[in-house]
Chain A
Amino acid sequence: MPEKRRVYFDNSATTMVAPEVIEAMLPYFTTHYGNASSLHTFGQEAHTALENARKDVAKIIGAKPEEIIFTAGGTESDNIAIKGIAYHEMKKGKHIITSNIEHPAVLETCKALEKEGFEVTYVKVNREGIVDVNDVERSIRSDTTLITIMHSNNEIGTIQPIAEIGKIAREKGIIFHTDAVQSVGKIPVDVGRENIDLLTLAAHKIHGPKGVGALYIRKGVQLKPIIHGGGHERGLRSSTENIPGIVGFGKACEIALAGLEKNAVHMQKLRDKTIEGVAGIEASFLNGHRTMRLPNNAHFRFTGIEGESLVLKLDEEGFAASTGSACSSHKLQPSHVLLALGLKHEEAHGSLRITFSRYNTEAEVEAFLGVLPGIVSELRKMSPLWHRR
């Protein structure tokens, strides 16, 4: 029997760990397992590895190594950044600006702060999922201390006008944080050019291991720690450093940076081929902006079809895709991002996210485009919404 097809098109959820990354990590489990805080040789090996990884991570966003702290992931970085600024600056003011399409790591952190008496303005996006810089500027108050807007959206892949928002924030003396978990390694990110004060990264989105993230903190920006302990990572993230994971993250950044342009071109080719192919299916729509989107993201909706059924049918055929974000499949609510675009609930329920990595091929896209129309029509035959439209 031929081996069952296994095509992974869910790279915004997580990615395969690159073989070179695993190879780089292995010695830090087996022989170089010291604690980076220890004085002996084992400890110093770990410490050196930690600082080398810090250089690689800093480099991919144009930062200095001393501006990077390692964390346990994107969500933790977002929490450290947002709460850290909110608490540190609370004597100046308690107003935060964010968008209504942020990842839950940002949205829920903001909501938690609201319960503590902070005020949050959620800037709306347009129908294509882009934040309007003027809306951000108009939302600024005398007591605004933080603007946090994602670099690119995890569901629909739209790229936000980060440099412009950063410029406004800088001019007004407001701290600017961006969750760049989806952007890093796919499009150029430069904290200097884009006027970014705080930036969240995660290893597992760029072929590194899960459970490792980083936060860029521009020199001079002060945070109140929310995790207390032995004072690791400049006292902002106490806990023995996850050296194998951090080494893997460093390696993943090094590889991603070296191949940035080539991989972006490759993924964009797959994306555009997919968008063009899906356009041939009746009553199908692309969500998000046609061009201001990550090179690896294609996001569709199909009238009369519910997303979960589509994803499970695709899985049957060996294609791993998603209805939106992996997180929202635990809930029954449609995606807040799609509703923010002004889509109706039944439209938001019918979405499909395809996200590529450098490892995907054109043959995989062709095979996908070969099975998708059949699945769509099979589900529509079953759908009263399609029947009565």
Chain B
Amino acid sequence: MYSQIVMEHFKNPRNVGVIENADGVGTVGNPVCGDLMTVYIKVENDIIVDIKFQTFGCAAAIATSSMITELAKGKHVDEALKITRQNVADNLGGLPPVKMHCSNLAADALHMAIKDYYKRKKGIEIEVDVDKHEHEHETEE
């Protein structure tokens, strides 16, 4: 079901944890659907110098979280904003189709953390591209 890279990140997730006094925090998802993710970033001169995550979810949710931390670490925040859900999935060697929507939240969590950073540190409201993640689970057959 999962690629070897997904399983490797699931087994040995990178950068798990919380950053106290983070410069930006982003939370996305909904425990109702079984996926909830928080990304913490530490930023110096607009460079993401540290990043950590906490995730409640399936192997795909954990692996995408781990992957986003690797992709974002050391990047300029504006570069990090360009990382897409598809980039995360591609770097993991693909995700099962059913997992592409709900469990592939990491890019959104990162974008929300950067939005939070802009607001807190610069007083700027930026628009970030985040999936609305509207859920029809309860009405689905």
Contacts of A331 in B (CB 8 A): 98
Interface residues of A: mostly helix, strand, loop or mixed?
A: helix
Q: Which partner residue on chain B sits nearest A111 by CB separation?
A: B141
Establish whether residues B36 and A332, one from each chain, have CB atoms under 8 Å apart when the complex forms. Answer: no
Contacts of A330 in B (CB 8 A): 98
Establish whether residues A312 and B10, one from each chain, have CB atoms under 8 Å apart when the complex forms. Answer: yes
How many pairs of residues, A versus B, come closer than 8 Å at their CB atoms?
67
Cα A305 to Cα B17 in complex, Å, equals: 15
Assess A346 versus B18: contact at CB under 8 Å? Given A306-B58, A309-B58: no
Establish whether residues B31 and A382, one from each chain, have CB atoms under 8 Å apart when the complex forms. Answer: no
Q: Which partner residue on chain A sits nearest B11 by CB separation?
A: A316
Cα A18 to Cα B39 in complex, Å, equals: 50
Contacts of A312 in B (CB 8 A): 7, 10, 59
Assess A308 versus B58: contact at CB under 8 Å? Given A316-B11, A382-B13: yes
Interface bits A345-389 vs B (CB < 8 Å: 1, else 0)? 110010000000000000000000000000000000111111100
Assess A346 versus B27: contact at CB under 8 Å? Given A312-B10, A316-B11, A330-B98: no
Q: Which partner residue on chain A sits nearest B17 by CB separation?
A: A381
Interface bits A262-278 vs B (CB < 8 Å: 1, else 0)? 00000000000000000
Give the distance to chain B from A110, nearest Cβ to Cβ, in Å: 13
Contacts of B22 in A (CB 8 A): none
Select which of B7, B17, B59 is within 8 A of A308 by beta carbon: B59
Give the distance to chain B from A346, nearest Cβ to Cβ, in Å: 4
Give the distance to chain B from A193, nearest Cβ to Cβ, in Å: 37
Contacts of A346 in B (CB 8 A): 31-32, 34, 56
Establish whether residues A333 and B140, one from each chain, have CB atoms under 8 Å apart when the complex forms. Answer: yes
Q: Which partner residue on chain B sits nearest A308 by CB separation?
A: B58
Query: Is the CB of B87 closer than 8 A to any CB of chain A?
Result: no
Assess A305 versus B56: contact at CB under 8 Å? Given A332-B137, A381-B16, A387-B18: yes
Establish whether residues B56 and A385, one from each chain, have CB atoms under 8 Å apart when the complex forms. Answer: yes
Query: Is the CB of A209 closer than 8 A to any CB of chain B?
Result: no
Query: Is the CB of A208 closer than 8 A to any CB of chain B?
Result: no
Cα A333 to Cα B31 in complex, Å, equals: 12
Give the distance to chain A from B56, nearest Cβ to Cβ, in Å: 4
Cα A381 to Cα B35 in complex, Å, equals: 15
Query: Is the CB of B55 closer than 8 A to any CB of chain A?
Result: yes
Assess A385 versus B31: contact at CB under 8 Å? Given A309-B62, A332-B137: yes
Select which of A304, A306, A316, A386 is within 8 A of B34 by beta carbon: A306
* Given contact pairs A331-B98, A332-B98, a sample of 6 additional A-B residue pairs in the complex whose CB atoms are under 8 Å apart: A308-B59, A332-B99, A345-B32, A345-B137, A381-B16, A384-B38
Q: What residues make up the interface of A, taking CB atoms closer than 8 Å to B? A: 111, 304-306, 308-309, 312, 316, 330-334, 344-346, 349, 381-387
Q: What residues make up the interface of B, taking CB atoms closer than 8 Å to A? A: 7, 10-11, 13, 16-18, 27, 31-38, 54-59, 61-62, 98-99, 102, 137, 140-141
